[in-house]
Structure 1
Amino acid sequence: MKILYLMTEPFGYGGVQSDLLALSEDLSEKGHDVLVATSEGELLEELKSKGATFMDIDFHFSSPLKFFKSAMALRKSIRENGVELLAPQSVRTTLVAFFALRLLPFSYRVKKNGKRCPIVTTIHNIHNPVHFKYAGYILNRCADYVIFESHYERNRLLASGLPAEKSEVVHSGIDTDKFAPIDVNQTLLESYGLDKSVNKIFGIVARLSEEKGHQYLLQAFRKVLEQEPHARLMVVGDGPLKEELLAQRAELQLENEVIFTGAQRNIPDYLSIFDVFVLSSTRESFPLAAREAMAAGKPVIAPRIGGCPEVVDENNTGYLFKSADVDDLSRQMLAILADEKYKQFGIKSRQRVVELFSRKQWIVGDERVYLGFN
């Protein structure tokens, strides 16, 4: 089956991009032809290495003329490549797909069955309230079917008018071979001056941006140190708030206790160092980093927002806290260290990901939906 994915953002670092790398690799291995239409980014060569064909189409339009050009370029690519299913990854690209396939004259038909080319959208998250206002209507009108990454997002859209029979949840999955419990990377640990016999290490892997809530985590960790002076916090990632967060670290006098590592590719090695993974976001849909940490056998502390309660089974795989509440976050961080069961949380975290959020289950689920339109 020839499947064409449509992405709004360039093919750089990000959750949707990570998903498409996995889908491209696994669906190609299953014999499908995978094509991806988006603009260039840092991970483009990796995408190609997974078996996908890249099409340079910019869906980040800001005017009706650019929208029309995107739709025309998409239509041309669909015809030239004999696409059999269109898989937009956003409301915006769903709208372009509908215009290209249904509204432009001389409608396109799939060659082998003479049917219309189906539009099967995947919704990861819709954070923009203006976009969300119209999302239910656009998806109902423009998509033949909608796959949601989380029940949280599906329930939001059902409440805004999307018919239940036009959608289902297929959780995006984690490579449980890549993200698995491993021995502590001792060399890496010692390079940061840490000692597992002395230090309890909290860690976060996230872009240094406003919605990830690092500023609240730093404040909460300051409180944690009052009772656990040997605790340490490792911040993995880079982003626009780096200098601001470094200044906050200095202001809180945490230069020796909080480590900023910058962006890293060997995330499993960093997870091996952590005792507890902390997600401090103020906005989340279905957090990838938390699921990766759980697959690696780590207990997780996460905010009680979005799809986080779907991921973290409270009091079994970790704790939840009120988003942006420094006192509540610090309480949960101290509580998990004091809980004799916290190592069991990590074991249960791994089990939960294997049972509910594995990459194999995800690929099988998406493929089943796609083939239903074949």
Structure 2
Amino acid sequence: MEVLLVSEKTIIVKSHKGKYSATFCKNGAKHLVKNLPNKNFHIIIDKKVAHLYEDELKFILDNSSVLLIEAIESNKSLEAIPRYVSHLVNRQIRRDDILIAIGGGIIQDITCFLAATLLRGVDWYFYPTTLLAQADSCIGSKSSINCGDSKNLLGTFTPPDKVIIGSNFLKTLDGVDVRSGVGEMLKVHGISGEKDFNKIANKYNDLFIDSSIMQVFIRRSLEIKKKYIEADEFDRGPRNIFNYGHSFGHAIEAATNFAIPHGIAVTIGLDMANWLSPQIASGDVQHYDRMHGVLSRNYRGFKKIEIPIDLFMSALAKDKKNIGKDEVTLILPNKYAKIEKGRYVNNKIFKSLCDKYLTKVRTS
């Protein structure tokens, strides 16, 4: 198995703000303590992470401006943002200060949004603590904030100034959280093509027991994504295909009131996209068969959770990628297993197919 060499522990990503680094290390908490910025900074941290790492982070948490946030969807919302702004203003934030995010995707979204809007822009660092964030969302510049009942309606493209990926953070994740992150990794490797997907599928079991193997595939996920975000940072063209599985995944999350975690919902969304494509587009059923085995293993334990079709269709219709009133924009594999963006009629036949997948195919 490939091992990360010292020279390979940093990935450099190009963005509209300049280059930024994603650096791999063993202990993210210790790295932060030893590498504090030489200017004013404000910590924005997941409450659970602060508790889990209170010993390692005690000095920082006791002697810094700290904003503790429970990592739940309602806190990643426009309605919650004023609380965070008030906290930072009370701590006398200035434009040359740094925000340091420590947590998963929700903390990332909140911090990125604040960094983009506070004082017309402040720098920020990111210490991702979930596999989902380490293997996917930590690079790419996006922030997404909920507004009312609409998920990820508001956002910006504001890259961090640096990302530090500490492998030890993953040791405190439960099995479902790890599988949620693996779901995003399966998506990225599926986008890359059959060769990369087969590699991660063949090592699926090892991902959960060997951290060195996990690190190799985290890095590969970021390498694949880096090519797309550097070519299309603002998500207007080629990068769109990273929504593979996400239109369905977001609708599944909404329809179940987030009873199914994001990465698991995306895994189901990938499987659903592969199954639907031969019936509404040019997909090949063999592509569905090739990926279904490992995808279904990754969403095991969530097959019996009801996904009400009307709630699902309502959420799907609100997807921000949609253009026409009676159409949905989807990312599906074509007959060559290449992932493509297309527009499809949202009619009774389409609803019936979605219902069949959610109630019969998924649960079998």
Give the TM-score of the pair, scaled to structure 2. 0.30
- Normalized per residue, the structure richer in helix is 2
Give the TM-score of the pair, scaled to structure 1. 0.29
